[in-house]
């Protein structure tokens, strides 16, 4: 990690970059409830609840729903100082349907969402300059997809500058085939992103779907070969493998009695891991903290669980 082996809460602010959308959840009786969600936003909220100083960086419209979303983030303790607003635009929308086993299906309406133009707006140069001052940037495979080739051409040099200054980059793969024109484009983007990553949080199913990796060992070898110094590989069976250098440790997940909704399981896992590392815990300890948070999240409906459900979790000092 740029020659550094220890993360602590002295790192300063974290920026989580991506897209937040309006969220419709179909209840068992057929009614719909509206909230908001998005993978990197979910992670930002859980980081804030764990005491991390985190800003969410995206672009929204100038409509009432965008106003409400930004206000909700601030109420959660997520900073919005670098939130861009685009006149005449509205945020994307998705609907979640869950089956009896708690597995979810998503339907999206996001093609004209302003978050796609985050690095292409008149205010973008000032935003990019501000991002260079953060100590940890967090983004996902969904972030890479929505920004497109032009956005990624701006992103990768930005990550270079952040890392040269001593900052770090964390990346959750979150492979979503429907967001990419084809696998070849996605592979090039992921390959480049991994070369700019200090902490990778890939899932075995993601890497198998994108690259065709045969198993967890092959997936881990791929990310190691990209030069990522710290890897948390999420397994298909509950658990993960934490890898630093030549050392790899499997950390099993907690048993959960009843899975209600797996939405944001991976997003909360990332938050739990990064928060624990920022607090100075070693990677294996951080993985256990991540499993614990994810276990709480999947026992509730929706991406963001009630605050009281997290009352017993430790915050950063």
Sign for the CA dihedral angle at 280, 219, 38, 162 comes to positive
317 within some domain: no
Say how far apart CA 264 and CA 106 lie, in whole Å.
12
Give how many domains the chain has, as a whole number: 1
Which residue carries 């739990």 as its tokens?
272
pLDDT of 7: 55
Residue in the block written with tokens 């990778």:
200
- Does residue 266 sit within a domain? yes
**Full residue range of the structural domain in which residue 250 is found:** 10-18+39-57+121-310
- 129 part of a folded domain: yes
Q: How confident is the model at residue 314 (pLDDT cuts 50, 70, 90)?
A: low
> 46 near 272, Cβ under 8 Å?
yes
Residue 78 lies in a domain: no
243 domain-assigned: yes
| pLDDT band at residue 4 under the 50/70/90 scheme | very low
**113 occurs within a structural domain:** no
- Confidence band of 29 (pLDDT split at 50, 70, 90): confident
In a domain, 315, yes or no: no
Does 88 fall in a domain?
A: no
pLDDT tens string 96-154: 777 777 677 888 888 889 999 999 999 999 999 999 999 999 999 999 999 999 999 99
Partner residues linked to 230 by β-bridges: 199, 244
267 catalytic? Reply is yes
The single residue of 39, 117, 261, 267 carrying the catalytic annotation is: 267
Sequence-distant (≥ 6) Cβ neighbours of residue 5 within 8 angstroms: none
What CATH number has the domain bearing residue 175?
3.40.1190.20
pLDDT at position 77 over 90: yes
Nearest of 121, 148, 152, 135 to residue 58 by alpha carbon:
121
**Confidence grade of residue 25 (pLDDT, cut at 50, 70, 90):** confident
């Amino acid at each position: 990690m740029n020659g550094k082996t220890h993360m602590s809460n002295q790192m300063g602010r974290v920026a989580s970059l991506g897209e937040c959308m309006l969220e419709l959840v179909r209840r068992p009786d057929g009614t719909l409830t509206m909230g908001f969600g998005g993978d990197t936003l979910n992670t930002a909220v859980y980081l804030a609840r764990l005491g991390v100083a985190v800003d969410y960086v995206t672009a929204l419209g100038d409509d009432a729903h965008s106003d409400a979303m930004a206000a909700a983030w601030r109420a959660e303790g997520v900073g919005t100082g670098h939130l861009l607003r685009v006149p005449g635009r509205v945020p994307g929308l998705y609907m979640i349907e869950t089956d009896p086993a708690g597995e979810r299906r998503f339907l999206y309406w996001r093609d004209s969402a302003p978050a796609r133009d985050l690095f292409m707006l008149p205010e973008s140069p000032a935003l990019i300059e501000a991002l260079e001052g953060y100590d940890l940037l967090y983004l996902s495979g969904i972030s890479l997809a929505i920004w497109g080739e032009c956005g990624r051409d701006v992103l990768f040099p930005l990550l270079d500058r952040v890392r040269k200054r001593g900052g770090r980059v964390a990346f959750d793969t979150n492979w979503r085939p429907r967001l990419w024109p084809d696998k070849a484009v996605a592979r090039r983007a992921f390959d480049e992103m991994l070369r700019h990553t200090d902490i990778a949080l890939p899932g075995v199913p993601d890497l198998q779907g994108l690259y065709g990796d045969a198993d967890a060992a092959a997936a881990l070898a791929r990310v190691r070969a990209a030069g990522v110094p710290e890897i948390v590989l999420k397994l298909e069976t509950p658990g993960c493998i934490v890898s630093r250098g030549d050392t790899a440790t499997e950390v099993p997940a907690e048993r959960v009695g009843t899975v209600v909704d797996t939405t944001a399981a991976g997003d909360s896992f990332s938050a739990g891991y990064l928060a624990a590392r920022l607090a100075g815990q070693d990677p294996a300890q951080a993985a256990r903290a991540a499993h614990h948070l994810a276990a709480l999240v999947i026992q509730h409906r929706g991406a963001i669980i009630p605050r009281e459900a997290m009352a017993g979790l430790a915050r950063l000092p």
